[in-house]
Structure 1
Amino acid sequence: MSPLLDIQNVIYGYPVPTRPHENSPSIPVLRDLSLQIQEGEYIVLLGHNGSGKSTLARLCNALLLPDRGHVLVDGHDTRDAAQVRTIRDCVGMVFQNPDNQLIATVVEDDVAWSLAVRGWPRAMIKERVEAAMAAVGISHLRDLPPSKLSGGQRQRVALAGILALRPRCIITDEATSMLDPLSRQEITALLHQLHQEQKLTLIQITHLLEEAALAQRVIVMEQGQVILDGPPATIFRDLDLLRDLKLEIPEPLLLAERLRRAGVPLSSRAITLSAIAEELAP
């Protein structure tokens, strides 16, 4: 089966400002990166700031184009300008700051905006907007202005606007980093729920290891390359390596590490408090 996203030997660098008429050098961000993502996967992409996560995300829906190599989305090359709309309908993005994606004066109109500008029939817009708002739990907020909502609620509105397009893949780029801890947990749980219920391909970009516990696959980036790729239980075995990569270790993993050092037999699957408690129960 062909992958939904196929990143082939991609090199990308941001240009450095230079004097007029000088060739513009670039700062390398992605270095000969290759990666395949299958339809229906739930992936968490980890890495500290500057590792290349956000650049990779923007390459996946043609917001950026590779300097070398190819990015194929369902077989369509992002370099093909005629396929950009198809690619962006397939891969939706939710960014760090939801205010950058909210433009209407009330929630319902904001969720409908992407469909309206595409000229969809009014009845179909209404149907999709209702379904998208229900999926993220904001139907009761439909008549409120986004400015009156909490950060977590605004992020749900941004997510609903993408869901209304019914993409096959959604990428969330540090979408929880501006939220309080409870809202972060709620958004992460919502993404997990959407993956299960709607069979979406989900790529959650973050620097927080605790957001990776529910993923099927964790990809860790460093200096523009993939250095770890596997299920969470495998990736979290080597906490010292994750510390070396400047990733903050969440409390459940620290607790499991202390228990193992004390002689308590815990499996590698014990990466959440509930999983630890289940293994400790008589």
Structure 2
Amino acid sequence: MELNNTAHAPLLDIQHVTYAYPLQKTQAEKDAPSPAVLRDVSLQIRQGEYIALLGHNGSGKSTLARLCNALLLPDRGRVLVAGQDTRDATQQQAIRQQIGMVFQNPDNQIIATVVEDDAAWSLALQGFPATLIRERVDAALAAVGLEHARHQMPHQLSGGQRQRLAIAGILALRPRCIIADEATSMLDPSSRQDIVALLSRLHREFGLTIIHVTHLLEEVVQAQRIVLMEQGQIVQEGTPATIWHDIERLRALKLIIPDTFTLTTRLRAAGFPLSAEAVTIDAIEKGLIGAESNY
């Protein structure tokens, strides 16, 4: 499965963007501006990056995600996708083919009554030849581990499998980027881990740009860069290790601190030389084994 992986300029160039949702107002309120959800946000994302947009509910991260593929358009500033302005109506279809989105509820993205037909839906709608549709659907279902379920009805799948099907439908279009907008929020913990692992694998094996939108710290372990948002602005950017360094600040930003983060902090305080990346059970175990071997 080959995906477009050529770009020198940023794939996404968000330039001083401000956005406010239109509100129903009384006559007296009509002259008052709506409160901005995003305020002067600038961000560049290059092809092949794995980015996590992290913040609590209401921080503006999902709004920023929707601006990335022209589902929303900025009030001020610009969003460029491979140099194409999202406000240019003639470019919006091409932009959405490059930047696919996976939402919270997979049922809102499933249309057909058979798994393989659903994965093929967007291709068929655009008039792709049947042989090419078959080839791409086969590759997409294999990439998400659903080739065995191709003849099943989507409602027979688990929640995690339906989310995989939503991802397969996007993969069939051969995008350059997948935005997962709180895509695990309706899943059980095991399925949540599976989807996070799938996104990481798609990034690693196919060179896809991944923008993972979440409020869960444990989901951003594999990200190369975390963009931390609060009150419609970017308040910090950095590697996971950089962001995790100040747990008290993360608590102040209303983020839930996983038990593994707290465990790592306590172990370091007790004298164990764990690396900043040791925030998963496996990484903590390896760090402890390595520390023990040095004694």
Taking structure 1 as the reference length, the TM-score comes to 0.98
Task: Indicate the residue corresponding to 1:266 in structure 2.
Answer: 274
CA distance in 2, matches of 1:40, 1:209: 22
Mapping 1:58-207, distance limit 5 Å: 58-207=66-215
> In 2, distance between residues paired with 1:130 and 1:251?
40
Contact 1:218/1:229 (CA < 8 Å) preserved in 2?
yes
| Contact 1:15-1:27 within 8 A present in 2 as well | no
Q: Helix, strand or coil: the match of 1:14?
A: coil
1:254-273 CA deviation, whole Å, 9 max, x = no partner? 11011112222222121221
User: Are the equivalent residues in 2 in contact too, given 1:16–1:27 (CA < 8 A)?
Assistant: no
Question: What is the percent sequence identity of the aligned residues?
Answer: 65
Contact 1:174 1:204 in 2 (8 A): yes
* Residue pair 1:13, 1:28 contacting (<8 A) in 2 also: yes
Quick check: 41-50 or 263-272, which moved more? 263-272
1:21-66 C-alpha deviation (Å, 9 max, x unpaired): 9346312100000000010000111100000011001100000000
**What does residue 11 of structure 1 align with?**
18
Q: Which amino acid aligns with 2:227?
A: I
172-181 vs 11-20, which moves further: 11-20
The whole-number CA distance in structure 2 between the counterparts of 1:99 and 1:185 is 19
Runs of 4 or more consecutive aligned structure 1 residues displaced over 2 Å after TM superposition: 19-25
Change (3 A) 1:245 1:126: same
DSSP-derived class of the 2:226 partner: strand
Q: What corresponds to 1:257 in structure 2?
A: 265
Question: Is the CA contact 1:17–1:24 (under 8 Å) kept in the aligned structure 2?
Answer: no
Question: Where do 5+ consecutive residues of structure 1 fail to align?
Answer: none
SS at match of 1:34: strand
Measured in 2, the distance between the counterparts of 1:280 and 1:168 equals: 39
Alignment of 1:21-60 (within 5 A): 22-23=30-31, 25-60=33-68
1:19 CA drift (Å): 3.1
Deviation at 1:73, TM superposition (A): 0.2
TM-score normalised by length of structure 2? 0.93
Cα distance per residue 1:112-144 (max 9 Å; x no partner) = 000000000000000000000000000111111
Q: Deviations over 1:211-256 (max 9, x none)?
A: 1111111111001111111111111000000000011111221110
Which residue, 213, 219, 231 being the options, matches 1:211?
A: 219
Q: Is the 8 A contact 1:48 1:246 kept in 2?
A: yes
Q: 1:24 to 1:141 in 2, by over 3 A?
A: farther
* Aligned partner letter, 1:53: K
Write the distance in 2 (CA, Å) between the matches of 1:243 and 1:159. 32
Alignment correspondent of 1:229: 237
Query: How many angstroms apart in 2 are the aligned matches of 1:202 and 1:24?
Result: 37
CA distance in 2, matches of 1:150, 1:26: 40
